[in-house]
Structure 1
Amino acid sequence: MKKLIALAGVLGLAMVAPPTMAHHSFAMFDRTREVTVSGTVREFQWSNPHAYIQLVAKDARGNDVEWSLEMGSPMYLYARGWRPRTLRPGSQVSVKLNPLRNGDNGGVVLEVSDARGNSIGTNQ
């Protein structure tokens, strides 16, 4: 009976592990490239499993475009000085990021600086 319960437990964990591992893949980001995007924070989403910065920036034609920028988990960010109200709507920031491979306006955040160039928290 104990072996059957242990086997059921192992199988249960095996069924949960693959989706969890897939969720944390960075394959959609081009980790060989770094770009910097400057703009206005529309929203800072302090949510699990990842925080996000919704940033409005100008494109090459001067049009407003929104970038969705993924960060680490709130627990990870908190340990590095971030707080739920670190970024507020209307804040001017520059974000260094690894862009999405598909060319959409998004990426994973590497560094965030305020309008004066001061680092905000640390993401790594």
Structure 2
Amino acid sequence: MRYRLMGLFLSGALLLGGGALAHHGWGSYDAGRKLSVTSAVQKVEWQNPHVMIVVVHEGKAWEAVLAPPFRMDARGLDPEMIKAGTTVTLEGYPSTRVENELRAERIIAGGRTFELR
């Protein structure tokens, strides 16, 4: 019985711990270097853990990390508002580890500003 409980506990810890490994922290973004990018959205991935969009900045494709889908919904921002071809303005910080990646703090879409954090 004791070994069975220990096995269940360890299995649960491993299952729950995987999500923490998959989720990255915000320490790998340069908060001292704010970027503002206005571009047409090239691609949208509306999924957990974060919505991702691709925009073009200075001739290069940038992947922007937005908020989780539930937060986007709570802020009133839905997938139709940032679909491919829509022009948006992103304000955020570039990654210090991944070239051409941006952590977006806010997005302006359809003339409305949405705070993402």
TM-score range, shorter chain: 0.7 to 0.9
Asked if structure 2 preserves the Cα contact closer than 8 Å seen for 1:81 and 1:122, the reply is no
Secondary structure at the residue paired with 2:33?
coil
> How many Å apart are 1:68 and its aligned residue?
0.4
Show the counterpart of 1:47.
47
The counterpart of 2:93, out of the listed 95, 98, 111, is 98
TM superposition score normalised by structure 1: 0.77
Q: Provide the secondary structure at the position in 2 that maps to 1:5.
A: helix
Q: Which residue of 2 aligns with 1:6?
A: 5
Unaligned runs of 5+ in 2: none
State how far apart, in whole Å, the 2-side matches of 1:31 and 1:20 are.
Answer: 25
Instruction: Give the match for residue 116 of structure 2.
Output: 123
Over residues 12-41 of structure 1, what are the superposed CA-to-partner deviations in whole Å (9 max), with x where a residue is unaligned? 122234332122222432244321112111
Q: Deviations over 1:96-115 (max 9, x none)?
A: 11211036211111001147
Q: Is 1:89–2:81 an aligned residue pair? A: no
Distance 1:85 1:75 in 2: 15
Runs of 4+ in 1 over 3 A off after TM superposition: none
* CA-CA distance at 1:52 after TM superposition: 0.6
Q: List aligned pairs for 1:22-33, cutoff 5 A.
A: 22-26=21-25, 27-33=27-33
Using a 3 Å threshold, how does the CA distance of structure 1 residues 10 and 32 change in structure 2: closer, same or farther? farther
Contact 2:81 2:109 in 1 (8 A): no
User: What's the counterpart of residue 78 of structure 1?
Assistant: 73
In 2, the alpha carbon distance for the partners of 1:115 and 1:82 equals 10
TM-score after normalising by structure 2: 0.81
Q: Which residue of 2 aligns with 1:20?
A: 19
Identity score, percent = 21
Q: Secondary structure at the match of 2:108?
A: strand
CA contact (8 A) 1:42 1:90 kept: yes
Gaps of at least 5 residues in structure 1 are: none
| Length, aligned pairs only | 116
Kindly provide the amino acid, as one letter, of the partner of residue 80 in structure 2: R
